[in-house]
Structure 1
Amino acid sequence: MADLPPDLFDSDWAREAERRALRDHRRATRVRKARRLARPSRGALLSTLALSLAVVLMWAGFAFLDGTAPSASAPSASTASTSTAPLRKNAEIDPTRPFADTPAAMWREGAGGIEPPPAIPVGKYSAEQVGQFMERVRQLIITARLDRTVLETGDPAPVLALLAPMMVEKLADRLAPGHERKAWYVSERIAPGFRLLPVQPRVIGSMTPTINAEDELVVRTNYLVAYAFEAPEPQKLDGPMDIVALVRQEIEFRWIDDPKYAADAMGVWFGEVDGFSYAVGCAQGNLGFLAPAYTNPPGTNSATPSARRSEEYFDPNIPMPNEDGCP
């Protein structure tokens, strides 16, 4: 391989870096560890299907994790319109309107919040090709983060069906039962024993098509999804963020179509990923599952970190937060 050192994960340093990444990922207010899946080089296609990752610790504004910016020919993602509504932390919970008194109340419902920008030519790719790839990415996000069957059963099969076969092979170890934390970016999983309320999650964010250093077409996405959970006695809880869990993910999707690669490498690959959760259950989060904050022991500061105003965590235009509210 020319783009990544061989046997990267055979080193003690790499194993420790990944261990730290997995430990930190599903904390209640910080899951900021990034990974880059190996480009399917000809050498890799002829040798091993083992996963190679580079753990990245860089963050600055919304610069993407590989340090590149959208090319001049790429359409910029429109800045997501954000709510200025305050978060009333101690407001009465209404299970029929769970997002009331949170900034997510003004976001679009479900798939309506995932809207690609107008497609124009990007690099060697036509507007039609760019538009088709953005639609594929849109379907991936909807399936991975909004499909109730995927969320509630934890079965990622519908998501994997939209990825390149070799990408799926590389994810196999991480998708094995008991390894949920390792595949947090593949699909959202509701913790066993918990149920979402019968309302659509609220969504805000953007996607930007561009060309990466390998001249591949990529779509960089930045979406926040607010999920509303059932609670046995909502009247005894402190406020809406006890049942509303917020998940933000910045994920790069790569389109592999170079004929020099094997047929099963063609299609959609994950690139770099980054994530953050706010007002979630710490114990389940550390296992790789999503649960509401009311499950946290008294005194856990998962929904009220002091680094910034609560409303800022709902803003996709701020840099990815790096706070950690779980013990």
Structure 2
Amino acid sequence: MSEHLSDEELARFLRESAEGTAAGAPKEPTARARMVTARLREQEARGELPQGWRTPTDLGRYRRRAARHRRVKAALAGVVVLGLAVLALNPSLLPGYPWGDQGTDATATARRLPAETAAPTAAPGAAPGAATLEDPFAGSPAARWQEGAQSIVMPPAEATGVFSRQQVGRALEGTRTLLVDANIAPATLRGAAPKAALGVLDPLQPKLLEDLRRSLSDPGEDDNPLLVFSRFDPDESRVVGDRVRARGRTTLEEGERGALSITADYTFVYPVTRADEGSTEVTRAVVRRVLKLEMPDPDRIVATPGKLMVERYDSEWSNGGCGAADGWAHPEFPSDPHEAAPSDGATVDPYDRSGAVGGGGECGVFSRI
């Protein structure tokens, strides 16, 4: 045995044998093991080493397969991370998400209507449901309308008359600002002065701004801010969640003496509940407004560049603004005692945008709300 052991191994074996711990001593390979080892060394010398997982060819294949697996796993991990990021940014995509459109407004499951591009030819059909705090537009055609500032869509700006495309674009931006601040901004709905809306109007137009400001500060039968602005007495009622939906369109054309003429025709729907804490009863107030604005040719009319003048404004309230002299809309609720309808008032469908606006005249009867 000693011919196969080094001097160090032999010394350690003798020491461990004397100590009785030689169980782990080196063992001489068997004759079969020595034969297999010799044959493999001969084949390796001749370049005939059998293909196996330790050979260069199979090692390369193994490494390529491992790299491919790593790439696949990395790609799958990237997809998972991307999906989690999307859900984090828009959790309403989760089935049954309680704070998404389906949780707060069941009617949002219906596809919203695209922007209005032409005058309707008839009133919209009936809508199922009844208004609640959780779904304040149920039972209303406004259930499919756009909400908030997104509901006010301007047409593409085009050069018109003496005005360039950029000048027309600024005029349309001013029109949108006026409509949003006068009819949708929460502060305006609670009675604050619509400074942004007033800011787009030309101070050189005689008496206009003076009259509008007086109607806001000291309203009366002859100075009614509801003809232009939507306001609800915060001591009496409030708009549910400050949510307002609107539908309409804005058109532009060349007016007289080179003026840019803009006409905005929109219907605004306000779900309203009582101001009392804990109130759950919901009604709706609806107003249709048609506003005709002008940007005069500064070479022909004394005007402030970039500002708008008001040529005409018409409004038609259903449930709230008709006949009010204190500057607030006062919508009626289903539980309120109702007086007999005035005999001289026409029945009005507040959602019918196919006809002309009544102009804020006699109070009619609304067929639905």
- Partner of residue 298 from structure 2, selected from 252, 255, 258: 258
Larger Rg: 2
Give CA deviations for 1:123-178 in whole Å, capped at 9, x if unaligned.
Answer: 23233322221122111111111111122124132322222222485431442232
- Partner of residue 126 from structure 2, selected from 73, 81, 86: 86
Is it true that 1:178 corresponds to 2:218 in the alignment?
Answer: yes
Equivalent residue, structure 2, for 1:207: 250
Equivalent residue, structure 1, for 2:272: 229
Instruction: State the secondary structure of the residue aligned to 2:292.
Output: strand
Structure 2: gaps of 5 or more residues: 1-115
Deviation at 1:259, TM superposition (A): 4.2
Equivalent residue, structure 1, for 2:181: 143
Deviation at 1:200, TM superposition (A): 1.9
Instruction: State the secondary structure of the residue aligned to 1:175.
Output: helix
Deviates more, 1:154-163 or 1:259-268: 259-268
The verdict on how the C-alpha distance between 1:170 and 1:250 changes in structure 2, with shifts beyond 3 A counting, is closer
The verdict on how the C-alpha distance between 1:204 and 1:215 changes in structure 2, with shifts beyond 3 A counting, is same
- Partner of residue 286 from structure 2, selected from 246, 264, 267: 246
Q: How many residues align?
A: 237
Identical aligned residues as a percent: 23
Instruction: State the secondary structure of the residue aligned to 1:155.
Output: coil
Structure 1: gaps of 5 or more residues: 1-76
Give CA deviations for 1:265-286 in whole Å, capped at 9, x if unaligned.
Answer: 8611111111101122656x34
The verdict on how the C-alpha distance between 1:185 and 1:280 changes in structure 2, with shifts beyond 3 A counting, is closer
CA RMSD across the alignment? 3.1
Question: For 2:133 and 2:231, how far apart are their aligned partners in 1?
Answer: 21
Question: For 1:221 and 1:245, how far apart are their aligned partners in 2?
Answer: 20
Question: For 1:281 and 1:170, how far apart are their aligned partners in 2?
Answer: 21
Give CA deviations for 1:80-109 in whole Å, capped at 9, x if unaligned.
Answer: 678834156xx5431121111111111110
Question: Could you tell me whether the CA contact under 8 Å between 1:250 and 1:274 is conserved in 2?
Answer: yes
The verdict on how the C-alpha distance between 1:297 and 1:158 changes in structure 2, with shifts beyond 3 A counting, is farther
Equivalent residue, structure 2, for 1:72: none
Letter in 2 for 1:212: G
Is it true that 1:268 corresponds to 2:305 in the alignment?
Answer: no
Deviation at 1:315, TM superposition (A): 2.6
Letter in 1 for 2:136: P
Is it true that 1:189 corresponds to 2:234 in the alignment?
Answer: no
Letter in 1 for 2:327: G
Equivalent residue, structure 1, for 2:354: 317
Equivalent residue, structure 1, for 2:157: 119
Question: For 2:138 and 2:166, how far apart are their aligned partners in 1?
Answer: 39
Question: Could you tell me whether the CA contact under 8 Å between 1:217 and 1:255 is conserved in 2?
Answer: yes
Structure with more contact order per residue of length (Cα contacts < 8 Å, sep ≥ 6): 1
The verdict on how the C-alpha distance between 1:277 and 1:164 changes in structure 2, with shifts beyond 3 A counting, is same
Equivalent residue, structure 2, for 1:220: 263
The verdict on how the C-alpha distance between 1:296 and 1:94 changes in structure 2, with shifts beyond 3 A counting, is closer
Structure 1 stretches of 4+ moved >6 Å: none
Higher normalized helix content (fraction of residues): 2
The 5 Å alignment of 1:62-101 reads 78-79=117-118, 84-87=124-127, 92-101=130-139
Question: For 2:332 and 2:156, how far apart are their aligned partners in 1?
Answer: 37
Is it true that 1:198 corresponds to 2:241 in the alignment?
Answer: yes
Give TM-score, length-normalised by structure 2. 0.56
The verdict on how the C-alpha distance between 1:266 and 1:248 changes in structure 2, with shifts beyond 3 A counting, is same
